[in-house]
Amino acid sequence: MITVAQALEQLFALATPLGSETVSLLDAHGRVLAEDVAATRAQPPFDGSAMDGYAVTQAAPGMTFRVIGEAAAGHAFKGCVADGEAVRIFTGAPVPTGAKRVVIQEDVIRDGNVITVSDKVEANTHIRPAGGDFAVGDIVSAGPVLGPNDIALMASMNIAEVPVAKRPVVALISTGDELVMPGESPKADQIIASNTMGLHALLRDLGAEPRLLPIARDNEPSLRTALEMASGADLIVTIGGASVGDHDVVANLAPKLGMEQAFYKVAMRPGKPLMAGRFGNAMMIGLPGNPVSAMVCGHVFVAPVIRAMLGLPAGPTPQKTAPLAEALTQNGPREHYMRARMTADGLVAFGAQDSSLLSILNAADALIVRAPHDAAQPKGATVSYIPIR
């Protein structure tokens, strides 16, 4: 059996970035910026007034000026301001040629067309210089997942079309004679397909485009049909049928149906019967069927694969560290991802860690990551964990 780190390495070797496409700025939220983009306009594009007041060449207490015109946002004053002249100006208006500062309206007394500066005048010029925010050609660098602040900045830069990484299309195939979809009326011996829905949500969060295919039954023709329907996907994710029982279709039949297997089985808990490889033009990952195993493998393996396909740096799902609020016994020979909750004193692993218990996964905030054969850890020891909330 290979280690989690070795499995990730092999997965990254299989996962190729998918290239980019152009979308409108309104559709760019949550997408990965695929190339640097440059401002086509400076901001502000002109020296602008930061306040309501009067634009003048200079100001000192008691000076008087003749008001010769007005400048408002979107309505520049066309002329020039000379000594002894003032232009009534409002926030956001271009500062007229010749003016060197704005005296705020609170600091002048106006009488008809004449203003007099009161006995105190602020040092601040109240002018926002052209390019003070950014200049033409300033760059937003490729790489980040674009959020609201990036979108606002790019809009200000007059970038209406954005090159983003293509979303990986992921075909999701549940396998099992016992499975029905949520909302159906299950018979007494049937189970609701839950992993598929959870993984669909996870994939959407990751910026992929998941496609839910019909459940494949535990026989060759049904699995073949499902795999054919997955054609065109960048990644095929199967769920279940991954162990070595008679009815485990993926493990038994996927290689026969054309899967080139890169690895099978990883030394981890939960999630041992994980497999990966290629199927036709797609990458393929076979997840174990137990609900928690499938979701944990989603966090530990599928998420880094999707990020790599989006052109983000290849690396494991980021881990944090926190103290243990309760001691842990010695770990076994496999890397263990323990469901835990975060308390004010640190992490507490749940007593029940069976890989079928979705309620415990849902109550958990974290997966404590324990190395193979990790010694018993006392209360207060620092451990690594993956946040899952």
> What CA–CA distances, in Å, run from 101 to 35, 47, 147, 295?
40, 10, 36, 61
Nearest CA to 226 among 218, 306, 274, 204? 218
**What is the nearest approach in angstroms of ligand AMP to the Cβ of residue 222?**
13
Rounded to whole angstroms, the Cα distance separating 101 from 186 reads 76
Scanning residues 238 to 267, which ones bind ligand AMP (CB under 6 A)? 239-243, 248
DSSP helix/strand/coil, 54:
strand
Show the 3-state SS of 63-84: CEEEEEEEEECCECCCCECCCC
**What is the nearest approach in angstroms of ligand AMP to the Cβ of residue 290?**
4
Scanning residues 286 to 305, which ones bind ligand AMP (CB under 6 A)? 288-291
What residue 168 binds from Mg ion, ligand AMP, none (CB within 5 to 8 A, per partner kind)?
none
Phi-psi region of 12 (alpha: psi -120 to 50; beta: other; left: phi over 0): alpha
49 near ligand AMP (CB under 6 A)? no
**What is the nearest approach in angstroms of ligand AMP to the Cβ of residue 294?**
7
Which residue, 202 or 239, is less far from ligand AMP as judged by CB?
239
Q: Which stretch binds Mg ion (CB under 5 A): 130-138, 208-216, 222-230, 233-241?
A: 233-241
Rounded to whole angstroms, the Cα distance separating 289 from 304 reads 20
What residue 291 binds from ligand AMP, Mg ion, none (CB within 5 to 8 A, per partner kind)?
ligand AMP
Let me know: does 263 contact 10? Beta carbons within 8 Å. yes
Q: Which stretch binds ligand AMP (CB under 6 A): 88-96, 141-149, 234-242, 333-341?
A: 234-242
201 near ligand AMP (CB under 6 A)? no
Q: Which stretch binds ligand AMP (CB under 6 A): 28-36, 135-143, 176-184, 375-383?
A: 176-184
DSSP helix/strand/coil, 168:
coil
* Helix (H), strand (E) at residue 294: helix 291-297
196 near ligand AMP (CB under 6 A)? yes
Token duo for residue 134 = 């950014």
Nearest CA to 171 among 207, 208, 205? 208
- Dmax (CA) of the chain: 97
Neighbours of 290 (CB within 10 A): 24
Let me know: does 140 contact 33? Beta carbons within 8 Å. yes
**What is the nearest approach in angstroms of ligand AMP to the Cβ of residue 197?**
8
Residues 124-163, mask of contacts with Mg ion (x by CB under 5 A)? ----------------------------------------
194 near ligand AMP (CB under 6 A)? yes
Number of residues that bind Mg ion (CB under 5 A): 4
44 near ligand AMP (CB under 6 A)? no
191 near ligand AMP (CB under 6 A)? yes
Let me know: does 111 contact 105? Beta carbons within 8 Å. no
**What is the nearest approach in angstroms of ligand AMP to the Cβ of residue 351?**
21
Kindly list the residues in this chain that would bind Mg ion in the complex (CB under 5 A).
Answer: 176, 240-241, 289
Kindly list the residues in this chain that would bind ligand AMP in the complex (CB under 6 A).
Answer: 174, 176, 178-179, 191, 193-196, 239-243, 248, 288-291
